[in-house]
Amino acid sequence: MIGSRRHRKSSLGPTFVLLQKKQAQRPANLDAVFSALSHPTRRAILERLGQGEVSVTELARPFQISLPAISKHLHVLESAGLLYREREGRFHRLRLNPTPLISTAAWIEEYRPLWEAQLDALSAYLEGRGREKKPE
């Protein structure tokens, strides 16, 4: 099976090694942050918290879901370290903690050169194929 996919040399050699090294350097709560950001309601909650401190009741008001459902979303965000909660009796005040978002953005930014190189290579490949197919 010469020429089959199984026998072709992988072009991911150096890239794969780079990915392994970067995985060892990633922030500890990266998976929790991505998981928290995966739901549109939690993203909307973070957007609201970005405007300033708010009570749980105020935060829940614009959403068409129950207060227990909001509490579950808040627990996920709190577990990821994305919000601070201050309790005064039954009154809870919430604030955004931007630190995990900043470290996650920095981690993503480290991959920009890799993505740009891969996209440049793809672009060059596609441009080369386009020239081959044009009739003269």
Say how far apart CA 74 and CA 49 lie, in whole Å. Answer: 11
Q: How far apart are CA 103 and CA 10, in angstroms?
A: 32
Which residues lie closer than 8 Å to 121 by C-beta, 6 or more apart? none
- The DSSP string of 20-33 is HHHHHHS-TTHHHH
- Which residue bears the tokens 């199984």? 6
Give tens-digit pLDDT for 53-102. Answer: 999 999 999 999 999 999 999 999 999 999 999 998 888 999 999 999 99
Q: Map out the domains of the chain with their CATH numbers.
A: 29-133 (1.10.10.10)
Q: Token pair for residue 23?
A: 């995985």
Q: What is the pLDDT of residues 7-54, one digit of tens each?
A: 444 455 555 555 555 555 667 789 999 999 999 999 999 999 999 999
pTM for the whole thing?
0.70
For residues 122 and 13, give the distance between their C-alpha atoms in angstroms, rounded to a whole number: 17
